[in-house]
A and B are shown apart, each in its own frame.
Chain A
């Protein structure tokens, strides 16, 4: 099961990379090579893949993923403009510091995704993850308290991610 899902994903990446859709029809040679190669990838690396591959077949998760992408793009835009403003401002208005937040997510993939998306939240980068505690470096601190910071930084990604990964 794991191996099958991983093979499918690597086959999709292969199709995007090799692009077998020529004007005269589909280039079957590339497709066959892709099937063989992605099968090998699945057999060799299936063991290090996610523990619960059946989740890939639940359609509901993909709709939440689309919603997550929308939220993520908005946070990314906000963060970039915010940071560009801080960098270009003559007096450099930053108040850096490392704060602590807690997450309710249990799965490793969910926590990794959360840490990644915090990297794109306004002025934050994850420094260390220990269990359910994330230490975040923020360029402009608004909250130093753990609960407040969790509500402000983590919640907006977490409530969507727990529907995708948990």
Chain B
């Protein structure tokens, strides 16, 4: 029974990972693609690790999977922010149908 629940979580996780990859191809610009890879892929990977924890239970493997889960939740938004900030500073353009860019407005008003 425990294995079935674990494999179910893993299955959903792989589906989320696949959606994240589709998002990487379909979305128009870097910032939206970053979000696809953050949300869907972090969710998918977390679910796969959760499935692993459910299958193996409290054991050395389960403890390592739990640590991985924790680190993914801390590190993936941090890297996402680092990439977004670096590409904004490097001048990667946003999609032309983007609605507002307050950061650009503020930078312009600062420099006059």
Q: Which residues of A contact B (CB under 8 A)?
A: 13, 16-17, 19, 76-77, 79-80, 83-84, 87-88, 92, 94-100, 115-117, 119-120, 123-128, 135, 137, 139, 141, 144, 146
User: How far is it, in angstroms, between the C-alpha of A74 and the C-alpha of B37 when the chains are bound?
Assistant: 19
B93-108 interface code vs A (CB 8 A; 1 in, 0 out): 0110111111110100
Contact A127 B31, beta carbon cutoff 8 Å: yes
Contact B99 A17, beta carbon cutoff 8 Å: no
- Considering only CB atoms, which chain A residue lies closest to B74 in the complex? A116
Which residues of the partner chain A approach B36 to less than 8 Å between Cβ atoms?
83, 87
B20 CB → nearest A CB, Å: 8
Contact B77 A135, beta carbon cutoff 8 Å: no
Given A87-B22, A98-B100, does the pair A137, B35 have CB atoms closer than 8 Å? Answer: yes
Contact A128 B103, beta carbon cutoff 8 Å: yes
Interface size on B, residues (CB 8 A): 45
Which residues of the partner chain A approach B54 to less than 8 Å between Cβ atoms?
none
- Considering only CB atoms, which chain B residue lies closest to A94 in the complex? B32
Partner of B35, one of A77, A98, A115, A123: A123
B15 CB → nearest A CB, Å: 9
Any A CB within 8 A of the CB of B55:
no
